Each structure stands twice: as C-alpha cells, then as structure tokens.
Amino acid sequence: MGFMDKLVLFIICLVAFFGMAGGALMGPVLPSMVEPLNTSREAVGWVLGVYTFSTALFMVLLGVVTDRIGRKKVLIPCLLINGVAGLAGYFAPNLPILLVFRFIQGIGIAGMMPVVMTMIGELYDGLERVHAMGRMSMTTAVGSVSAPLIGGTLAVLGWNYPFLFYGLTIPLAFIAMLFLPETMNSNPEQRTGFKKMFMSLKDIRVAYTVFLSFAVFFLLYTIVIYVPFILKDNFGFTSQGAGLALGVQGASMVIFASQAKRLASKYPKYTILGIGFTLLGIAVVGMSGVYSIPLVFLLLLVFGVGFGMVQPLLNTLVTQVAPNDAMGSVVSLFNTMKYVGQTAAPAVLGVILLNSNLVVVFIASSLLGFCVAISTYIMRHKIYTTDT
C-alpha cells in the first residue's frame, strides 16, 4: 500500500472506531447520570436503548440511500450528526431532552459503519479486502475495550463530560471529505432501492451471511450480559472488575483480527468460520461450569480468538456476495442484524433464565454456535468458494 492508500484505510478505521465507541462509551457513565438528571436507574438505561433503537431503525434506510446518492454523501453528514448531537448531550438539562439528542445521534451512527464497510468492499479485492476488514475489525475491538475506559475516565470530571468525546467526529468529517474517494458506481440506472435489497436475500449466500451476523452477536451478548453475573455471584467481582475482565476477550479479538489476511491466505473460508464458531460455542458452554477465575479468563480468551477469526471474514464476505448495485443496502442489513442479535440474546435467554438457571442459558446459547459451525461445513460447496 502507498501512503494515500494507508491514509484512506486509517480514516476508514477511525470512522469504525467512533461507530463502535458510540454506545460503549456511555455504559459505565449511566450510574452517575441518575442524580444530576433527577431520574431513576431504570429510566437512565434509555440513554443506551434509544440510541441503539434509532441506529437499527435508520441503518437499512441509509443503506438504500447510499446506493442511490453515494457513499461520501451519506458518510459526511452522518459524522457531523453524530458529533453535533453528541456534543449537544453535554448541555442537556434533563433526561427527555438528552434522549432526543441520543435518538438523533443514532441516525449518525447508522450511516457510519455500513458505509465504510461498503467502501472497503469497493476499494479492495481478494486478500487485500480481508486485510482491510481485519484492520477495521481490530479497530472496533480496540474501541469496544477502550471506549468504556474513556467514558469512565471523563465521567470523573462530570457526568456530561464523556459527550465531548463525540465532538471529535466533526473534524473527522472534514478529513474524510478531503481524503476519502467516492467509490460508488456513478451510473444512475444501476441505483436501486428496498426491492433490490430484499430480492438479494433470495441468494442463499446473502441470506446465510446476514444470518451469521445475527448469530455471532447473539453469542457475543450472551457473554457480555451473563458472564458479569457469574463473576459477581461466584467470585465477588464488582461491576468495574467485571468490565475489566471482559477486556480479556477484546484483547484476543484484536490479536486474531490482525491476522485475518494470513489466515485467509492459508485456509478455506468455511474452515475459518467453522473453527471460529466452534471456539465461540466451546467458550459459551464452558461458562456453564466454571469453578475458578483463571478458567473464566481462559474461556474469555478463547471466545475472543473465535470472534477475532469470524468477524473480519464475515465483514469481507458480505461485500463479496452482495450485488454491486445493492452493496450499500445489503451491508446495512448485515449490520442491522448485529443489533437484532444483541436484542434477541437478552430476550430469548431471559425467558430461559426465568424458567431455569444460568447453566441452561449458556448451554442453550452454545448450541447456536455449534449448529452454525456445522452449517458452515454443510454449506461449503454453495458458499464462499472464491476469494474474489
């Protein structure tokens, strides 16, 4: 890669970092918002809930828009929306007004991650695309680990100081405007809409890849939501300690995501996916019988390895199987399924927990990981047979 190529990829990764940090930044700050905003613990959770709802709601819509008007014409305004609405949260006098700002901010986030993924799909081919997606996945993993630390540190100054961090996407918007290329095909006859996006799902490769996006984030949120309960109930961890413990998986995600190109050059895609989902299943089912802190950390490490193998490859695959004239909308649908997976995990597993215990929760979730691992082998001749 030349200097400009590296600069473009660096900007793309920065956008992905802020896209990931948008929600994670506020997690540790919520308790300190209750008193200043004169609200309750239950209500303050909407600071995250409204944000993710807005993101999921607008992601597919903006994906269709990117296929009609262009990638940069969506990305630049979304970066500005995220920055301005985020900064506005600093001045929010009460919870209802803050929630309005968070809803608007979610619109900005909805157009960030799918657009840069689409741009990678159009800028790179073959193993270089895997490499770029690996770098982006590594960046988002860093964001998932560092954002809570950034938010918690800024909250020491005041509950609203973390919102200032979002303002950094305003100068990033101008940098992206100057240096990022427009990658979309300019032929207006090839610009499509919702019909083309849903027609694309008739292709088993597209539908299956979108499903895998749901599955991997369902498994991730099994760990994120329920492992802290184990750490607290069995080993006396505080919420802060549990958050730091989850950072172990983030560290291993970063390491293996950085090796995505090397893995893809040596092994077939279905092999990497199969091993990755098997590791995810092993880590989740292992949590059902942990008896020591070192074992918890080992399983978190294994989960991070599996996630680091799967996520960059899935990000690459969706850009490979999506039709060129509907790539933006299909990639947006793919990203929306991440939020569906994050929502479905507590909904489905919460019902299981209500009627059983955490052991059953982890066993039930792990079955998804193992079934998906088997399915990648069964589908190997229909899907992912090329590197183009």
pLDDT in tens, the chain (388 residues): 678 888 999 999 999 999 887 777 886 777 788 889 988 866 877 887 788 788 888 988 888 888 888 889 999 999 999 999 999 999 999 999 999 999 999 999 998 988 888 899 888 888 888 888 888 888 887 887 777 778 878 888 888 999 999 999 999 999 999 999 887 765 544 555 666 677 777 888 889 999 999 999 899 888 877 887 788 788 887 656 766 777 777 778 878 877 877 888 888 888 899 999 999 999 999 999 888 999 999 999 999 999 988 988 898 888 888 887 777 788 888 888 887 887 788 788 888 988 888 899 999 999 999 999 999 988 887 765 544 4
DSSP characters for 343-373? HHHHHHHHHHHHHS-HHHHHHHHHHHHHHHH
What is the predicted pLDDT for the residue at 364? 95
Closest CA to 184 of 269, 71, 84, 266: 71
- Looking at residue 387, its pLDDT comes to 46
Q: Which two tokens stand for residue 319?
A: 């850009």
Neighbouring CB atoms inside 10 A of 205's CB total: 18
The count of residues in the chain is 388
Tokens 């695959």 correspond to: 317
pTM over 0.85: no
Residue 170 burial (CB count, 10 A):
16
Token representation of residue 322: 């999506």
Please give the pLDDT value at position 388.
42
Helices (H), ranges, 45-125: 46-69, 72-90, 95-110, 113-123
From 270, 294, 286, select the one nearest 359 (Cα to Cα): 286
Calculate the alpha carbon distances from 341 to 132, 179, 383 in Å.
24, 34, 22
Evaluate whether 224 touches 340 at the Cβ level (below 8 Å). Answer: no
Query: Please, where are the H alpha helices in the chain?
Result: 3-24, 30-33, 41-44, 46-69, 72-90, 95-110, 113-123, 126-155, 169-179, 194-200, 204-235, 239-257, 260-266, 269-286, 293-321, 327-355, 358-378
Q: Which of these, 28, 18, 26, lies nearest to 47 by C-alpha position? A: 26
Per-residue pLDDT, 1: 61
- If DSSP codes are grouped into helix, strand and coil, which group holds residue 384? coil
pLDDT of residue 195: 67
Under 8 Å between Cβ of 288 and 362:
yes
Residue 3 burial (C-beta neighbours within 10 Å; 0-12, 13-18, 19+): exposed
Phi, psi of 155, deg, nearest 5: -70, -15
| All residues at 6 or more sequence positions from 362 whose CB lies less than 8 Å from its CB, including other chains | 222, 226, 284, 285, 286, 287, 288
Pull the structure tokens for residue 334: 């793919």
